[in-house]
A and B are shown apart, each in its own frame.
Chain A
């Protein structure tokens, strides 16, 4: 048994390059339940990050009582992370679950029934459509629903109502991933595979704290690092993350300066001729524009702008330039920061310059944050057209009209689908009066929360919220619909590296909760949406009908699902698309032949100017004649729009901790996880704390031009001049709405977004900090991860007068010492290590079977 709160990544199973990653089956059962008492194990995959781990749900007496990793799964080879182990099932089983629809009566939400609630939605919807038309309606969905549900929602929105105002919280998590791939390669579609971890010589993690965001993927890296020919690691992150601790080169750059660093790395590749001229000539275009743009960015210029050592820039570039096989991963440090798309495209550019794409160990993983974000992008419930179609291409719009048997004119394609921040702006301005939010919590996750709360509370807004729990957002709703969630419905979803999983229904949903698919189908029926022949727009009986319809939508597109059936997914574990007649077992890597989906008739976008977001347009794009070549896209570096000044002298950045997901709706209800990270905190460097006379655990107020938060201080190994706050903490477990003391990280963030991906800039703002009270003990930030207490000493020892820096060291647990549990850690200034104790024990069965192969001809060849 292993304490998987203390040992986040579990036991090591080292392996060598090109060996298969050994299997380790992780399992947890509810207290008191023996394995022999489990009546059924039901196939699924985990929805608590984007990794897509195959998981079996243990069922006893109609309840979920635990989980185990699927040993044959091509993603996780049996492993699970702490969130999957503890929150996936406990997060569904909680007494707080919504079991009946709620409607607002005299200002208060009261229990109702489905007929009443749906009729209330439909009558408001109809009235607004009659009075103001489809532009009055908006949908804000999630990265949590299943593929079938997004596709239903996309058709309802685009062909039933005909509104362009559809987006998901994927805008906050993965929009830049999609945008960067569209700009560089012509379409969304992950080039690389997780298998590339097994085969690479070097790994670059760009703004990606993989150790905390995708723990199982990081286990794979740790096992390579424990093996005989470990890959060289380069980490770009302002915090001293677990990734940074394993890195040969750590570039702790100033938040907001990613593109300057990337220009410097690209310039080094040119300057040292670490480029593949033949590949560039045959498979790319615009290389001279790239060369000219990066020319000013010498390592010294990068050092000046980014606050990293010039020598480290050279070392990092040399590792990229001279390793045979490099795998790059990119996540929120790039996606949620300034010039997100340009910085993420720069990663693509580095791989294209070396021709390192589509080959073993040479992947790019433009990561997603959420388990089903990929499906939202594919299905077009967000700002995309279904099947990676191009809204500027009339032929593509006609294809959808034919598939859905509707007039093409109803499908909005006069401009890009409206992004989330603009949707909220339209509500603020009063022109959008109907918003349907499913499985997301903008009242905590959106930037500048004081403004978002005002918008959600608008008199003119009719708000529908569909969720598992009465979230902070649901409290503003006019109608709340209780949703069935994971394990309570059947459907499919697709992870970062295009692997499609089936998730079967294991138990009945509580009370009257219904799947999101059933709710959307019910709405469509009640609204009377029809096809051209008068038959119902959506006549699906269940998820498999939806999946069958979806397959037709993907035929011949990059995300081709036509070779996948529920039956094919059942029993086995995971098929990466495209899967069709040519690739009956799926496809491990894209672009093996160096042919990219940039053909004007085929591409998902004609592209944008990365500085402004202005569209290239069909004429210019066709004149460029990309003809299957990838495109070097870039933009000049521009400083972040809000930088520190006299009033707000610190840079502020936000992020995740390993023990929570999103706004803690599930993880906050799993006791092991909640105890490990029970309260918000703010991180500061040793030097800054010392200069300001602040100590571990002091209660501080952090303030930006938009709001403030109050939290306990963690003195950690973050870069000087930067403050960090985790964004998980809202108000549902503090009475529902913010009281005097705000604690949500997004109280401070700025309303701003990337010009191309429209992803909000959540990782850069200017703030100030002041102490408001002495701490009564250390902060409750986890000690196992990037939030661990400082290991560095203050740079200037005279500045720590009166302060015992020894107070903030982690003490090893002594004999007889109890593992820390929640508030127990607060009793003294000694910081006890984060541990889970007896409640957090999981079994790990190492190598019970041979590791799975990604079952394709390509892999076997």
Chain B
């Protein structure tokens, strides 16, 4: 069964996303909405990892060489500056959140096959938030893109 691999991937991706939200919050303090909302969303990612714990305990760790390592995305090691830098950092977050989102979907598929109510409840509680994270990122990027790409210094 490869579900543990995906659960591990999910946990790792949430952790990476949380740290990246925090990185962007720190790096873009002059954009207060980005600064504060990224902190809130990082806390959501923490909660998601907590919510996954009992499920991870039940299914156990994936075997090391079973890990689809190429699916792991690196987080943001540093933030960029300026209007274009903000746009690109948000876009990186969007990619990371997309990975989380689709991984929740895959895990949900497995949970449905297993009729694992506990797992499905966790998915229901968390995946909606990830979807909203993506919506916010998209909204904020659309707001910033025109100015950043056309006339920002």
A611 and B132 form a contact (CB under 8 A): yes
A755 to B136, CA, bound (A): 10
A163 to B140, CA, bound (A): 18
Number of chain A residues close to chain B: CB under 8 A = 32
A751 and B135 form a contact (CB under 8 A): no
Closest-by-CB residue of B relative to A289 is B128
A609 CB within 8 Å of chain B: yes
A130 to B150, CA, bound (A): 13
For chain B residues 97-142, which have a beta carbon within 8 Å of chain A?
132-140, 142
B143 CB within 8 Å of chain A: yes
Shortest CB-to-CB span from B17 to chain A, Å, is: 15
Shortest CB-to-CB span from B120 to chain A, Å, is: 17
Using A430-B153, A755-B37 as known contacts, say yes or no to A135 and B146 having CB atoms under 8 A apart.
yes
A415 CB within 8 Å of chain B: yes
B133 and A612 form a contact (CB under 8 A): yes
B74 CB within 8 Å of chain A: no
Using A429-B152, A611-B40, A755-B33 as known contacts, say yes or no to A414 and B142 having CB atoms under 8 A apart.
yes
Shortest CB-to-CB span from B32 to chain A, Å, is: 5
Closest-by-CB residue of A relative to B36 is A641
Across-interface contacts of A136 in B (CB, < 8 A)? 151
A139 CB within 8 Å of chain B: no
Closest-by-CB residue of A relative to B152 is A431
Find A638's partner among B32, B40, B138 (CB 8 Å cutoff): B40
Across-interface contacts of A421 in B (CB, < 8 A)? 32
A751 to B41, CA, bound (A): 20
Shortest CB-to-CB span from A569 to chain B, Å, is: 39
A416 to B140, CA, bound (A): 10
Across-interface contacts of A415 in B (CB, < 8 A)? 142-143, 145-146
Across-interface contacts of B150 in A (CB, < 8 A)? 133, 135
How many inter-chain residue pairs (CB < 8 Å) link A and B?
74
B31 CB within 8 Å of chain A: yes
For chain B residues 41-63, which have a beta carbon within 8 Å of chain A?
41
A615 CB within 8 Å of chain B: yes
Main secondary structure of the interface of B (DSSP, over half): helix
A414 to B150, CA, bound (A): 14
B147 CB within 8 Å of chain A: yes
B75 CB within 8 Å of chain A: no
Across-interface contacts of B82 in A (CB, < 8 A)? 429
Using A132-B151, A611-B132, A614-B139 as known contacts, say yes or no to A431 and B37 having CB atoms under 8 A apart.
no
Shortest CB-to-CB span from A631 to chain B, Å, is: 16
B147 and A135 form a contact (CB under 8 A): yes
A738 CB within 8 Å of chain B: no
A556 CB within 8 Å of chain B: no
Across-interface contacts of A425 in B (CB, < 8 A)? 30-31
A135 to B41, CA, bound (A): 30
Shortest CB-to-CB span from B44 to chain A, Å, is: 9
Shortest CB-to-CB span from A657 to chain B, Å, is: 28
A421 to B34, CA, bound (A): 13
B27 CB within 8 Å of chain A: no
Across-interface contacts of A135 in B (CB, < 8 A)? 146-147, 150-151
Closest-by-CB residue of B relative to A760 is B32
B135 and A614 form a contact (CB under 8 A): yes
Closest-by-CB residue of A relative to B150 is A135
Shortest CB-to-CB span from B146 to chain A, Å, is: 6
Across-interface contacts of B33 in A (CB, < 8 A)? 613, 752-753, 755
Closest-by-CB residue of A relative to B143 is A415
Across-interface contacts of B145 in A (CB, < 8 A)? 415
Closest-by-CB residue of A relative to B43 is A638
For chain A residues 414-430, which have a beta carbon within 8 Å of chain B?
414-416, 418, 421-422, 425-426, 429-430
Given A614-B132, A614-B134, A753-B32, 16 other A-B residues pairs in contact with their CB atoms under 8 A: A164-B146, A421-B32, A425-B31, A429-B83, A429-B153, A431-B152, A608-B139, A612-B41, A613-B33, A613-B37, A614-B140, A615-B135, A615-B138, A638-B40, A752-B32, A752-B33
Write the residues of chain A forming the contact surface with B, with a CB cutoff of 8 angstroms: 132-133, 135-136, 164, 414-416, 418, 421-422, 425-426, 429-431, 608-609, 611-617, 638, 641, 750-753, 755
7 contacts between A and B (CB under 8 A): A133-B150, A421-B32, A422-B143, A429-B83, A609-B136, A751-B32, A752-B36
**Which 6 A-B pairs rank lowest in CB-CB distance, beginning with the nearest?**
A614-B136, A614-B135, A612-B136, A431-B152, A752-B32, A614-B139
